[in-house]
Structure 1
């Protein structure tokens, strides 16, 4: 019996070492499953036009408002396309931002500012910068694509009264402004309820919460209020969805670079 003891101890040690690996693999598989279900449930909407109000608050609570429209086009074999146009106030009127989200290569983004009458490309290294002075970054405005992240299920929780999964989402892009995100996804409809964003040093940077979800076209859920609060500078940005229209008939031609200067 003694001759088998070292072998048994070795086997038990290897099994113990494998347990964390197996648990980690299961957490990754479950995280990917949840993220995939989230993506699948929001597929097939085609194109939309959303009319929104952006409210910016500084650290002292002083507010400024902007009225904007966002046109989106679903691209089933790649990331989606979006064009955001500012209508009010006068100092930002006619400003436009175009995003072509990609799955396997860096996103393409352009900003048109009428005051200088030129289109500026947002390079990958700068996409963590603030979008039009808000607490949303250029990176935040890309569509959610599975290929851009690693996923890991952490635990169950409850947020806004909704039983939810908490999934760690790690960007694969070396130029991402985030080291990771923690995403709360409700179990009832796989809607994002909350996201915590952590900076490159691992510190909490900001938190996005979704409110007033409403269903459109009998299957597509959209939050009608989004709150982004920056934990480091105490600023915040609210996005209010005033109206969303589906089946607008948009095509790729509505989302080329020329569309930036045509936007009015």
Structure 2
């Protein structure tokens, strides 16, 4: 995940096409701003809360790197002990379907995650496996819906509709990007039935010396159940010297 998101026709055709073109350009500019690095790593605490107030915590670390055709990422659970060593490997591609594998230490087994299972919850959280994949512009039709204000920030509101709806987990996404830095502030996810399923809120942004902005906190809320999952990031570093071997399927079993 790059930290790792149908409306009524209200305008004449010409205006609609113009907004679609502008939306795609904004999305491409945002992607370019957040891709000027070789790799990154970080640690996080995941807090999972049900609507009834039950709470569970996971400690994890993650790393990712850019590649010629997309990106690769590896997320490793470190705590609690009963799930420590569980690892999720993702190969995101710009032009072809993404690939994911899950290592289960209790079974000493690597399991490939089928495309049809990527809507499943990662470690019991509101984040799905699909939420850990990159979202390259090439896989979406992007339209600028409007300009808005969110928490005092001037923002572009973009609709992202997958070009291949049959393999996508969400039917569409609506994202708020701040106009100053093109940071993703909020994403609303809609399921195949058109329901508003989840909302991602990003906050506590920090700018790093290489000009990259990253959110210190990501909170995913399930609009249907009221459950929430929050990722609190720390110790983020860039250009660590990772190679493709660090993101191979063989590397899953060595992940600790």
TM-score by length of 1: 0.91
TM-aligned CA deviation for residue 234 of structure 1:
1.1
| 2:197 maps to which of 199, 205, 218 | 205
TM-aligned CA deviation for residue 103 of structure 1:
1.2
SS across alignment from 2:70: coil
SS across alignment from 1:44: coil
TM-aligned CA deviation for residue 172 of structure 1:
2.1
Deviations 1:91-128 (A, max 9, x none): 11000000000111110100001011100001111111
The residue number in structure 2 matching 1:60 is 52
Q: Hey, which bits of structure 1, 4+ residues long, moved more than 3 A?
A: none
SS across alignment from 2:51: coil
| 1:251 maps to which of 223, 227, 243 | 243
The residue number in structure 1 matching 2:225 is 233
SS across alignment from 1:35: helix
The residue number in structure 2 matching 1:150 is 141
Whole-angstrom CA distance in 1 between matches of 2:135 and 2:62: 16
The residue number in structure 2 matching 1:49 is 41
Write 1 or 2 for the structure with the bigger share of helix: 1
Structure ID, larger Rg: 1
Structure 1: runs of 5 or more not aligned: 1-18
Query: Number of matched residues?
Result: 245
Whole-angstrom CA distance in 1 between matches of 2:45 and 2:73: 17
TM-aligned CA deviation for residue 86 of structure 1:
0.6
CA RMSD of aligned residues (A): 1.0
The residue number in structure 2 matching 1:81 is 72
TM-score by length of 2: 0.93
TM-aligned CA deviation for residue 217 of structure 1:
2.3
Contact 1:160 1:193 in 2 (8 A): no
Contact 1:48 1:245 in 2 (8 A): yes
